[in-house]
Amino acid sequence: ARDSALAEASGPGATKDGHAVPLLANVGGPKDLDAALANGAEGVGLYRTEFLFLDRSVPPSDEEQEDAYRKVLEAFPEGRVVVRTLDAGADKPLAFLPPPGEEPNPALGERGLRMARRHPGVLTAQLAALARASAGLSVKLQVMAPMVADAAEAAFFAGACREAGIEHPGVMIEVPAAALRARDLAPEVEFFSVGTNDLTQYACAADRQVGGLAHLQDPWQPAVLDLVAPAASAGVPCGVCGEAAADPALACVLVGLGVTSLSMSAPSLPLVRAALARHTLEECRRAAEAARAARSAAGAREAARSHLPGLA
């Protein structure tokens, strides 16, 4: 099945009836670009910049940041690159940015944009390095903040981006409050990207680092689909960059919910491209409706698949 999917699936992502769904790669830095290009990524949908900051007691220099960012930006002259600003804290602890005090629940503590607001110099240095790295390049640079909870946080981040000369600010939708009130955040930014890993963690109150809770960390949970729906219909382009996008059936469901692009680890791109190419947008919509009508994750998966005849 994989070989025929690989043969069938090349070129830009689209449904059977030609509805374009850009397929993008999640990368952790320049080292991941070969795989992204080899699997036909149309750009980067999530550049996790934490890797540049891991295992060090001081942040990387401005030049080091600029160099790493430029390498990724240069790989997609015709495409787009979505960079996520530093997501420090919780499952991504960084030595030079420890939480300000004892945190009994780090996933609910200072992480992501919350940490950036406590250390504004880290954010402004990163945004400035991104602006310099993109100067003179044709790629569309989009920059998004992790762990945004409400419209005020989205407005703060968009303001910081524009001050740094970054024209396309967005936010991740990974907190249920932001998903439920996506309509309030939409006027502040140019795009959303749903982080289904964290959105599932927070929707089901199941720490993603606790292995025994795997059954609750399932993005097929109908509650998670119910949270993606308002984000995908809030009036700004809405991608998905969590693991959910790499599941071919769930990718079709997400498109049926109104999601406009999908980003995943590069090896997953061919099977997702093939799954989309075998189904119409209408089939994706019916699969999404059926999944949301189910009462369990397993039920949602089964209901969706019954509307997606092209899946093996």
**Residue ranges in contact with Mg ion by CB under 5 A:** 174, 195, 198
126 binds, among Mg ion, ligand PEP, none (CB under 5 to 8 A by kind): none
- CA nearest to 70, candidates 24, 134, 123: 134
Among 129, 149, 158, 241, binds ligand PEP (CB under 6 A): 241
Q: Point out which span in 33-41, 157-165, 191-199, 268-276 binds ligand PEP (CB under 6 A).
A: 191-199
Token pair belonging to 155:
């407005």
- CA nearest to 173, candidates 259, 80, 248: 259
Q: Which is nearer to ligand PEP, 196 or 261 (CB)?
A: 196
Does 242 help bind ligand PEP (rule: CB under 6 A)? yes
Among 39, 85, 142, 196, binds ligand PEP (CB under 6 A): 196
Does 254 help bind ligand PEP (rule: CB under 6 A)? no
Cβ contact 141:199 at 8 Å: no
How far is residue 194 from each of residues 67, 121, 124, measured CA to CA in Å? Answer: 27, 26, 24
Cβ contact 276:38 at 8 Å: no
Q: Which position has the token pair 């952790």?
A: 28
Among 124, 197, 233, 280, binds ligand PEP (CB under 6 A): 197
Does 48 help bind ligand PEP (rule: CB under 6 A)? yes
Q: Which is nearer to ligand PEP, 73 or 194 (CB)?
A: 194
Does 46 help bind ligand PEP (rule: CB under 6 A)? yes
CA distance 131 to 85: 13
